[in-house]
Amino acid sequence: MQSNINEVASNLSALAVAQSVFRSNAMDRLNTLTGGVAGIQVGITNLNQTLNSFSNQALQSLAGIASNVSVMLPAVTNIEAHVAGIESAVASTKSRILTRPDTMVYDTTNTILYKSTAGSDPVCR
């Protein structure tokens, strides 16, 4: 019986040592994980700051582009109105001779540039 008691005491002592080793190893690993997590946290904080900075710069650039577009839009609209005005002015003018020679030489070809009213065919006689 004494040998059984000694064996139980020896087993309890070995269990206490194993538990102490396990506790020590677990604490070392937890400390390693804590350090790793702290590094990740710093990285995430830096990434968050970089994304905020990028977002602010992108929004400023987009605001500048929007401002330029709002400045250019009336000009584009005015160009469209001017082209429509030119088109209607050209269509409504009367036919006319644009260039003609001041003198004519016998037996030569003379060129006359004229503009006809829109929709009419030139008449050659």
User: How many residues does the structure list for the chain?
Assistant: 125
- What does the angle CA 7 – CA 10 – CA 12 come to, to the nearest 5 degrees? 110
Residue 44 located in a structural domain: yes
Degrees, nearest 5: CA angle 69-71-72: 65
Domain coverage including residue 93? 2-115
Domains contained in the chain, number: 1
Residue 81 has a pLDDT of 81
For residue 115, list its beta bridge partners: 96
The answer to whether position 124 is within a domain reads no
Measured in degrees and rounded to the nearest 5, phi and psi for residue 124 equal -105, 130
User: Which of 97, 21, 105, 117 is closest to 13 using CA atoms?
Assistant: 21
**Which DSSP symbol is given to 12?**
H
Mean pLDDT of 69-85: 79
**Domain membership flag for residue 120:** no
User: Across the chain, what does the average pLDDT equal?
Assistant: 83
The pTM of the full predicted model, rounded to 2 decimals, is 0.39
Tokens coding 28: 């070392």
Q: Tell me whether residue 109 is in a domain.
A: yes
Q: Using 50, 70 and 90 to split pLDDT, how confident is the model at 4? A: confident
Interval 28-61: pLDDT, tens = 999 999 888 888 988 899 999 999 999 989 888 8
pLDDT at position 85 over 90: no
pLDDT in the model for residue 48: 92
Of 56, 122, 116, 55, the closest CA to residue 91 belongs to 116
Q: Is residue 123 part of a domain?
A: no
Q: Using pLDDT thresholds of 50, 70 and 90, give the confidence band for residue 123.
A: low
